Structures are given as structure tokens and as C-alpha cells.
A and B are shown apart, each in its own frame.
Chain A
Amino acid sequence: MLDFLSRMFGREANGSKNIAKERLRLVLVHDRASVSPQLLQTLKVELIQVISHYMDIDEEALEVTLDSNENQVALVASIPVKGMKRTTRSLAGSI
């Protein structure tokens, strides 16, 4: 009966478990990302491969970081472009 009443009054929706779950989800994004520093490096290399199909980029100045604020984590990539490629063969091929 008590359970029924508490559910009636929407206690479940405001239950502290949702806070726990959300906090955990966020902290684990950080934990899992920080476990392997190689991961960011691998990501960088693959990003360069993909982007070089379309434009000339300054590989040395490329920066990839995980940026976080209170309620989300973002992958931030700063990629200086030196020039666009005139012929984007892979693009033309796919059309």
C-alpha cells in the first residue's frame, strides 16, 4: 500500500537512484577515457587519415581533447586547415 501510494505521488521519478545513475554515467566516461591515453593518440591518427582525404591540415598543431562540464563530455578537436584539396577523389567516386 505504501509502495502504491509513493508511486502514485511520483516518488519514483524523483528517486535518488536517477541522480546516482546520471553521476555514475558521467564519471565513467572520464574513467574509461583516462584509462588509456593511447586511445586519444589512436583517434588522432585515424582522424588525420580521414580528414586528409578532403583537406590539407597541419598535423603538428592538431589537438584532440575530452572537454567536460557539469552535464556533458565533449570531444573537442582543433584542426588547423592549411588548404582545401582541389580534387577530392574519394568524394567524387562516391557520388
Chain B
Amino acid sequence: METASKEGELALSEVIVVTSGKGGVGKTTTTANLGVGLASQGHKVALVDADIGLRNLDVVLGLENRIVYDITDVTGGHCRLRQALIKDKRFEGLFLLPAAQTKDKTAVSPEEMKELCGELRQEFEFVIIDCPAGIEQGFRNAIAGADRAVVVTTPEVSAVRDADRIIGLLEAAELRDPKLIVNRLRSRMVRQGDMMSIEDIIDILAIDLLGVVPEDDMVVISTNRGEAVVQDDRSRSGQAYRNIVQRIKGEAVPMMNLDEGGLMYRLRRMIGLK
């Protein structure tokens, strides 16, 4: 089984798990934006909602009305993987494997998850797994089949503390060098010294930075509509997610100027300097 799945793998195929420890920091939003961002560039992407019992990736993507089967139907042998995958009609190559809503976190085992990831590798270039909050079985299942991990945090003590715990657990599970996304950064508060800066957070967590997403109303507005902000050319959070997508693909993209939106930036923009 193991060798069979290896042979069929696409050359670039990669399984990435999006984790955080703390809930509500933006794992699902990040997963959706990475998926849409990669798919809109023509990549074949499968998004897996591993948050069994608390299904959410479907509503964030606007696909909640199209679910027939879920992940436990696949692992339980009630349907084939292909039947459970929902195709996002807006983007060629984007598919969602939804979580079960009625079962609990133990409904899928780490072995089943590994097998599932192996199967998805054969068809998709990127498999992105939305991990549940917490460090229990659901977390262990979600990371079981992953090649690399992304840790999402916000610039708050509770989220950073939990991120540190998750980084330790990922490394213990042989998922080396997880990459950090700092979400919901408020640059005005950082300038005033009332919010930890990127440097502060990196200094504490000692891991590589994958990207910084500024706090942006457009994230809420897009999510309300079941769309991903990465598609919005004008929003700064959309730009931040597009940059992260390029970095996931291995390109070196400089970090965004976080002072954008500040007074000087807006002035310069008004007089046409940028």
C-alpha cells in the first residue's frame, strides 16, 4: 500500500498541515486562502477539513450546500474518495474533502489519515489540511500524513504561547522546521508599542516566518460571502496571502511593508508616489 501510493505520486506533490494550538486565530481562513490562491494559479489542490465534529472549511469556501459524503465516509469505506471530493466550480483544480459534522475526533485514526493523504498525493500537487484546535487526538490525526507544517498565530500572549507548544509537538512528531504565519497584525498598535511586532514573535518562537497578514475588514466581508480574500486584488490581506502562496511554491517574496495604511503611506499614495 505504502509503496503503491509512492509510485503514483506527482513529482511536486506536497501535504501541508495548517495548525495553531489556539482556536480562532485563522487556521481555516488561512487554509481556504492558500487553497484558492494556489488553485487560481492553475495548481491542483485538495483541501482537507480535519476538524471532525466542527466542520467549517465548507462554509468559509461557500461550498456548504454541496456536501454529500464526508471524510469519515471515505475512511469507513462507505464511498470512494472521488465521490466525497467536492469540486469548487469557480476554480479549476480546487477540491474540498469535508469533515464529518456528527462524529467526534476519534472517528478517523492516524493510519487512516496517512492512507488518505497517500491517495490524495496521486492526484493533487498540494494537499492542505485544516487542523482542529487543541493538542489531542484530532491534532495527532491531522498531522499524521503531512510533509510539512504551517503554524498560525496572532500577536497575543495566549496564541503565541500555544504556538510554542504546537511547535514542540510538531518537532516531536518529526515534522521539522514548521513555518510561521502571523495573522491579524495591527501595524498601528505595533508602532505604538502596544502589540508585539513580528521581530518580537520570531525572537520568542525561533522559527522561520512564512508571512504576515494584517488585520483587515475584507477578511470578514469575503468570508461572509463564502469567498477567499486572496482573490481581492485591492485588499492588503489578499496581497499578504498571495505572497504566502508564492513562498509556499518556493519563491522568495519580500515581506510586505507593514506600514501600509499608516498616515505617511496614505499621503504618499494620494500624491501618487506609490
Residues of chain A touching chain B, judged by Cβ–Cβ distance below 8 Å, are 1-3, 6, 11-18, 20-21, 23-25, 27-28, 31-32, 35
Contact = CB atoms under 8 A, between A and B. Distances in A.
Contacts of A17: 190, 193-197, 200
B167 to A, nearest CB: 10
Contact of A31 (B164, B192, B194): B164
A16 B193 contact: yes
A35 B164 CA distance: 11
Going nearest first, the 8 A-B pairs with the smallest beta carbon separation are A15-B193, A12-B193, A17-B196, A15-B194, A16-B194, A20-B157, A24-B157, A21-B200
Contacts of A6: 192
Contacts, number: 50
Kindly state the interface size class of chain B when it binds its partner: 10 to 19
**Which residue of B157, B193, B196, B263 has the most chain A CB atoms within 10 A of its CB atom?**
B193
- Dominant secondary structure of chain A at its interface with chain B: helix
B6 interface: no
Nearest to A1: B263
Interface in B160-215: 160-161, 164-165, 168, 190-197, 200, 204
A60 B192 CA distance: 54
Given A20-B157, A21-B196, A24-B161, A35 B168 contact: yes
B8 interface: no
B192 A11 contact: yes
A15 B165 CA distance: 26
